Structure 1
């Protein structure tokens, strides 16, 4: 009985369970809604990426994603399997990557049976990459991967690219071993010399050679804990990395195509024109002559941005260029102030503030206030203050007024 009454041994999960119940406090109405909102606010603030200082970032990126297709991807610690979970998360990653980097390109490589195979070429075609990922769901996973062969293939693809664009490799590695034909340290040194940045996400455990690869090439290395952490690590690579000081800086020739008005409105049979986007995917020709014409060679494309297959010109629109700039000029951090009744509603969602909104966020330029949900959306998705964007004429005069004073 003495041992049962005085047992110094206790488990960590038991004490954490007790602390959780101690932290739960009801409000005067017997509800925990305010507490849940406070927990969610702290979690969102913890998960938010820290804003980086004045560093050089690449607006044009060339990224190769290497997927491990060995026996290790059959493991079911990530449901339903590591491979199927990876394919599902990669579809979201491709969409988010091109949304954040509209002027960049992406390619996919498979690591299987000690070889590296290129599935999609470097391109900005979102549909092409997602279609290729969906076609891999029934792929047989056999053999073991070769990290060195993957690095050699990535170097061969990325090495000829111009120096003003960043060259990156992201490896999704599930195996604990690699079967290499030679000295992998020589390959790592060659990638470092060429300025190719290699990052790796491990699905099993930390491997020394993988850590060395990322350290030598200034990449990032992470090991997943669960599917949520896997998604967080993967989407963390959508933001452009810091550029090296020795990287080249040069002018890039770009074209801004326009959509001509149809001159066959009165025609019963509109002309059939070839769309280079569909021709690349093997879907045939475009319809009714609608699309964007390259200003240099007049080739038609149904979606932008794109790399002209005829003349090699980078085709983009003004919104794509503006969206690429938000990494270089992020929105100013909002000031967190206590809600003392100075504001009645959130400028973003027009929701009235209540007693539960103890902390609100204020823009330092326009002094409009936002709730914590809208503050997160502005920093993660909009990248511009809605109130400042609605009244740009008020802030264009600020530098002149400051200089006059």
Structure 2
């Protein structure tokens, strides 16, 4: 009912949302239509506020709404201090690493298990868990092969309660990237099955020699698993076959995932956001340290003795050589490599010869694999300099002059004068060269160690 009007008086107890207006502003139809319109507008505004409030629950929104506040300028308006702090945190992690020699496996075999269930379409990670997983998987594969050129990777998917082989075990990174390039073939559907996927990965690594590592990396986004049998029997088989399983969970921690990682010696982590997700993945790029097998396989087990293994250095064919058939793809090509034992032609190295089974590697690949066994020692932060001796010297790596003063904060291994000294050759390097030498070069330019 429209509000009662007597001599320019409007009932204040009316439930209508119309405002108190003058005679000329009132609708001739009693204000009924205008009251409904204003009530509808109010409901739309309340609904929009509710949606905006619910949107704050997304993880990615917390990362991007005020991301500019993570980088702070100094008094001069420069961002150098923020960059130095970021480098200092990486340098501190390197200093906390054990300085003693650690036994690692340079020939690695890894099976990447991707969760392709319907839960991967959730949007708590932008744009979806599925798209972000494929993006980080490509970056992980590229970095993994760069740091482990003698390793091999296979890809297995989990969807519709089955384990699906996506890519065979190969040492060519382009073949692995090509297997996960088409996202339409990997469209998530159904429920995952940990047992079926782990059994498929385990069966593909039964023939591997004992001197190589057997690893499984699971990217798991579901809170359930649809298994046909007892998954603990599969776990016991993995322990017996010395397979190390690591899990990166995108939803929450599951007890079975934690037990699988603890009993096989792998790592387990739950991604808090997209940045933490990437950090958890890239922590698995370096070869894991070998542990005493007695922790997982009984008190009587010991580490196997180090045995010599046979490798072959191939002969590279130029582009002008006569075309011939390769044994890996059965294609006619001019360029390639000849196996030193059976003279079979392969396209890329490192790989295993399909004819005689010899591991074919190149000397640069073999040299790059050893930097994990003999890492560059962490440089010491120089706290003060002798102006009479060191003031005219520049960085030994890039020859640039050192800054007069970088930061007053000396925490987290940061040098106040921007100098970092090698403990072997006592050469000074700037912060950029320090990070570049330890993360990319893996060899000190001053002493060659």
Counterpart in the other structure of 1:345: 394
Quick one: distance in 2 between partners of 1:25 and 1:38?
12
Counterpart in the other structure of 1:257: 314
Deviation at 1:98, TM superposition (A): 1.2
Q: Secondary structure at the match of 1:187?
A: helix
- Which of 244-253 and 101-110 deviates more? 244-253
Counterpart in the other structure of 1:16: none
Quick one: distance in 2 between partners of 1:41 and 1:103?
29
Counterpart in the other structure of 2:262: 215
User: C-alpha offsets along residues 42-95 of structure 1, whole Å, 9 cap, x if unaligned?
Assistant: 333356584333221001111100000001110112221111111111111111
User: C-alpha offsets along residues 81-120 of structure 1, whole Å, 9 cap, x if unaligned?
Assistant: 1111111111111111111111111100000111111111
2:86 paired residue among 34, 40, 64? 40
Q: Is 1:334 the counterpart of 2:383 in the alignment?
A: no
Deviation at 1:261, TM superposition (A): 6.7
1:158 paired residue among 205, 218, 222? 205
Deviation at 1:212, TM superposition (A): 0.7
Deviation at 1:302, TM superposition (A): 3.3
User: C-alpha offsets along residues 2-49 of structure 1, whole Å, 9 cap, x if unaligned?
Assistant: xxxxxxxxxxxxxxxxxx99x97854xx43445334433333335658
Output the TM-score relative to the length of structure 1.
0.82
Output the TM-score relative to the length of structure 2.
0.74
Quick one: distance in 2 between partners of 1:181 and 1:373?
53
Deviation at 1:199, TM superposition (A): 0.4
Counterpart in the other structure of 1:60: 107
Quick one: distance in 2 between partners of 1:195 and 1:51?
25
Counterpart in the other structure of 1:143: 190
Deviation at 1:292, TM superposition (A): 1.6
Q: Secondary structure at the match of 1:338?
A: coil
Structure 1 segments unaligned to the other structure (5+ residues): 1-19, 393-405
Q: Secondary structure at the match of 2:287?
A: coil
Q: Is 1:275 the counterpart of 2:326 in the alignment?
A: yes
Q: Secondary structure at the match of 1:148?
A: helix
- Which of 100-109 and 32-41 deviates more? 32-41
Contact 1:59/1:101, CA 8 A, preserved across alignment: yes
Quick one: distance in 1 between partners of 2:168 and 2:225?
24
Structure 2 segments unaligned to the other structure (5+ residues): 1-67, 293-301, 407-415
Deviation at 1:243, TM superposition (A): 1.8
Counterpart in the other structure of 2:34: none
CA distance 1:71–1:335, shift in 2 (3 Å): same
Q: CA RMSD in A?
A: 2.4
1:355 paired residue among 390, 404, 422? 404
CA distance 1:386–1:184, shift in 2 (3 Å): same
**Larger-Rg structure:** 2
Deviation at 1:271, TM superposition (A): 2.8
Aligned positions of 1:317-332 closer than 5 A: 317-332=362-377
Quick one: distance in 1 between partners of 2:240 and 2:195?
16
